């Protein structure tokens, strides 16, 4: 278990060094993909990094939006201008306007600049599908959003404590919960496909701010 990326980190707000969480997540992903001979392409890596922007689940369109900002493609698809620049940017990744404009909204790192390419929605979804298949992220059904997995080694069902105040989500694994669900499902002859449990509530910082529970 890494020093970062555990359940309590998720609820520590800005009192923890989140860059360390991201670094651990990316390093773990690189190691696992290498072991599994799965291709963690620059785009897949970048999407994983965007999912890990915080401990709050992020939607596919947010990811797409950020990638688009990086490439400075128009948010509306299919304009002549966009098609023209997309071709250019696709071939000259690290150069010129793509790089300059991309840094306006987000501070670029060298690794990031290497992934700048125009991304169509299917590409983002395929990247998310890959990351899900590798167990590197989880889909939070109640929010239609994705969150990074805190320990992607091996398959697992999980319980997610989701803060309705700030969105921070903690992934916890209580084998007794898993076992209880499995046992009851078996008793009922129910074939379990997914055992993720999503629990809504308020994280400690949000309780401290006097947020009211919001059962959505
Ligand atoms: Zn963090
Ligand atoms: Zn997980
Ligand atoms: Zn919160």
CA of 9 to the centre of ligand 1 (A): 6
CA of 54 to the centre of ligand 1 (A): 6
CA of 23 to the centre of ligand 3 (A): 23
Give the DSSP letter of residue 16: S
pLDDT above 90: residue 114: no
**For residue 8, which ligand has an atom nearest its CA?**
1
**For residue 156, which ligand has an atom nearest its CA?**
2
CA of 140 to the centre of ligand 2 (A): 11
Average the pLDDT over each of 2-11, 80-89, 163-172 and give the range with the smallest value: 80-89
Burial tier of 132 (Cβ tally within 10 Å: 0-12, 13-18, 19+): middle
pLDDT above 50: residue 86: no
pLDDT score of 118 = 54
CA of 22 to the centre of ligand 1 (A): 7
> How many CA within 13 A on the CB side of residue 144?
4
Mean per-residue pLDDT of the chain: 79
Helices (H), 37-166: 42-51, 60-71, 80-91, 96-105, 110-113, 121-133
Average the pLDDT over each of 66-70, 145-149, 198-202 and give the range with the smallest value: 66-70
Structure confidence by residue, pLDDT tens digits, 17-53: 999 999 999 999 999 999 999 999 999 999 999 999 9
pLDDT above 60: residue 83: no
CA of 158 to the centre of ligand 2 (A): 6
pLDDT above 80: residue 2: no
**For residue 147, which ligand has an atom nearest its CA?**
2
CA of 214 to the centre of ligand 3 (A): 11
CA of 9 to the centre of ligand 2 (A): 14
The count of other CB atoms within 10 Å of the CB of residue 60 is 18
Question: 146 or 107: whose pLDDT is higher?
Answer: 146
CA of 186 to the centre of ligand 3 (A): 35
Mean pLDDT of the 199-205 span: 95
pLDDT above 90: residue 180: yes
CA of 197 to the centre of ligand 3 (A): 18
Question: 175 or 96: whose pLDDT is higher?
Answer: 175
Structure confidence by residue, pLDDT tens digits, 117-172: 455 578 999 999 999 999 999 999 999 999 999 989 866 778 999 999 999 999 99
């Amino acid at each position: 278990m890494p020093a970062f990326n555990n359940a309590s980190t998720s609820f520590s707000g800005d009192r923890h060094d989140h860059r360390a969480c991201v670094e651990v997540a990316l390093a773990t992903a690189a190691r696992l993909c290498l072991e599994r001979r799965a291709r963690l392409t620059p785009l897949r890596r970048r999407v994983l990094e965007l999912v890990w922007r915080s401990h709050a689940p992020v939607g596919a369109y947010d990811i797409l939006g950020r990638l688009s900002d990086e490439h400075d493609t128009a948010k509306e698809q299919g304009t002549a201008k966009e098609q023209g620049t997309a071709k250019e940017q696709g071939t000259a990744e690290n150069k010129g306007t793509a790089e300059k404009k991309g840094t306006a909204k987000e501070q670029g790192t060298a690794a990031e600049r290497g992934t700048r390419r125009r991304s169509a929605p299917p590409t983002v979804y395929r990247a998310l599908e890959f990351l899900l298949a590798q167990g590197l992220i989880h889909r939070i059904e109640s929010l239609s959003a994705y969150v990074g997995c805190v320990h992607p080694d091996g398959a697992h069902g999980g319980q997610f404590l989701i803060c309705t105040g700030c969105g921070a989500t903690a992934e916890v694994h209580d084998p007794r919960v898993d076992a209880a669900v499995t046992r009851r499902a078996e008793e009922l002859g129910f074939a379990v496909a997914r055992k993720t449990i999503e629990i809504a509530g308020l994280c400690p910082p949000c309780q401290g701010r006097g947020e009211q529970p919001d059962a959505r």
